[in-house]
Structure 1
Amino acid sequence: MKKTLLAVMLAACATTAFAEPTAVLKVKGVLTNSACTPELSNSGVVDYGTIHLSELSDSAVNQLGQKTIDLTITCDAETKVSWNLVDDRVDSRAGVTVANGSATNGSISDANQTYGVGKTADDVAIGNYSLFVKVSNVVADGKSADTIYMLGNNNVWSATADGITEGQNNRDITVAASGSLEPVGFTTATFPLVTSLAIQDTKTLAITDDTDLNGQVTISLRYL
């Protein structure tokens, strides 16, 4: 027992005697020639066509349904890359709830998860829409892939079933191998995106002339 105690004491003394009062900071990174390009189908336009006010409710939020558009990211070499977006019409967000606004058919109302579609001539916000990933149909290099996301820059990736996006560059989205939470490199990945649109009741809108919907988001890439 004494021998064991002595060994521990010696180890402790040795550690204390030779501890260095220093800390090491390392700078890391990767220089690469890889480049990736995002592209949207239909020239990036989601068209809800002509909406007749006479067919809309004058007292309740009007749910105008879903439209689909594909986001394809193409890289000239296998690259780990995510994407995020910013709402360019955030000041016109009406704050109405969007039905069937996610891949799990949930209702969406959070300010960060809905996007504006412009204002009337009298400065009334027309409505807003959600934008989500149809996670069951995401493909990377010809194979089905899981969709994962990271909030802010915390470097913690999580799985997503609802495919929700967020504006203000707050949610990065990319792909992982099935069952994994680790981003994988790819040369081509396609994310089917779905918009779900809701607009205010016609009494609130008080529109007398033709009024265009004017939603717009900017999608950016982040190399991982």
Structure 2
Amino acid sequence: MTSFNKKLSALAVGAAVFVSASVHAATDTTLTVEGKFVPAACSPVLGDSGKVDFGSMSTAMLNKATDSTGLVQLERKKINLTITCDAATSVAILAQDNRTSSKVAVGADAYIEDYAGLGANMMTTGAVFGLGTTTDGKSIGSYTITAIAAELLVDGNPAAIILKDLDQGTGGWTSTSGGLFYPDQTRYISVAEKATKVPKYFTEMTVPLYIAAAVQTKDKLGAGTEVTLDGNATISLVYL
């Protein structure tokens, strides 16, 4: 009997300790909710490794300006920009001139002729990119970069080009047949369904970029000087 009572007493004490611990346990706990939304990853790729090559040209071309444009006009070039995303998303494209101090001012007396193949001449210095300098520091010329809507493909289908100027306050998107890039990252270029102005979601886009360039004449660059074009710009994406 004694042995039995001792075992019962030990069990009773154990139960008492357990109950006491339950009484003093915390009465609340914390629930944490986490997660984040991330944009699809998009990769821009320029054809021809991003190089627009005007080739070797005779310095005789520099003897006089083309017609009455005030500058020597070079043949317009085209390079394709392809953007591929791992999920449907909308992006804007913008450009930054890395040779901006070398640009040649353009205007009514010196301009880039029919820069986008749409009949308009480029006479706005704020919209052109620099072509580098000669060995003695003289600015060679200027060029433009324009996205052409007529040849644009978004997920295999035609689409519209829209743009937004960031330095215009709360201005919205506008439609354009030629999306002219600004060299200071102040203009967004994007795509939309035709007849709309809402940035379109896509997984793949191919847009041709027209590069139109014009250079100064020999009397401004210096006779006997080897002239090497050295334009350089960064094309960037912004998720919308």
Structure 1 residues 56, 210: closer, same or farther in 2, change over 3 A?
closer
User: Residue 62 of structure 2 aligns with which residue?
Assistant: 56
Report % sequence identity.
32
User: Residue 104 of structure 1 aligns with which residue?
Assistant: 118
User: Residue 78 of structure 2 aligns with which residue?
Assistant: 68
Letter aligned with residue 212 of structure 1: T
Does residue 99 of structure 2 align to residue 93 of structure 1? no
Q: Distance in 1 between matches of 2:189 and 2:174?
A: 10
User: Residue 179 of structure 1 aligns with which residue?
Assistant: 195
Relative to structure 2, which stretch is displaced further, 212-221 or 202-211?
Answer: 202-211
Query: How much does 1:33 deviate?
Result: 4.8
CA deviations 1:100-156 (Å, max 9, x no partner) are 112422111212211100011121100001111121011100000000011117361
Q: Distance in 2 between matches of 1:131 and 1:33?
A: 27
Q: How many residues align?
A: 195
Q: Structure 1 unaligned runs (5+)?
A: 1-29
2:94 corresponds to which of 80, 84, 90? 84
Matched residue of 2:83: which SS? strand
Q: Are the counterparts in 2 of residues 93 and 127 from structure 1 also a CA contact under 8 Å? A: yes
Query: How much does 1:164 deviate?
Result: 1.4
Matched residue of 1:56: which SS? helix
2:130 corresponds to which of 116, 120, 123? 116
Q: Are the counterparts in 1 of residues 162 and 189 from structure 2 also a CA contact under 8 Å? A: yes
Query: How much does 1:207 deviate?
Result: 4.4
Q: Are the counterparts in 2 of residues 103 and 134 from structure 1 also a CA contact under 8 Å? A: no
Q: Structure 2 unaligned runs (5+)?
A: 1-35
User: Residue 12 of structure 2 aligns with which residue?
Assistant: none
Structure 1 residues 155, 141: closer, same or farther in 2, change over 3 A?
farther
CA RMSD across the alignment = 1.6
Give me the TM-score of the superposition, normalised by structure 2.
Answer: 0.77
Which structure: larger Rg? Answer: 2
Structure 1 residues 127, 136: closer, same or farther in 2, change over 3 A?
same
User: Residue 208 of structure 1 aligns with which residue?
Assistant: 224
Matched residue of 2:162: which SS? strand
Letter aligned with residue 229 of structure 2: L
User: Residue 17 of structure 1 aligns with which residue?
Assistant: none
Q: Are the counterparts in 2 of residues 120 and 207 from structure 1 also a CA contact under 8 Å? A: no
User: Residue 139 of structure 1 aligns with which residue?
Assistant: 153
Q: Distance in 1 between matches of 2:47 and 2:192?
A: 23
Q: Distance in 2 between matches of 1:105 and 1:43?
A: 29
Letter aligned with residue 211 of structure 2: T
Letter aligned with residue 186 of structure 2: N
User: Residue 194 of structure 1 aligns with which residue?
Assistant: 210
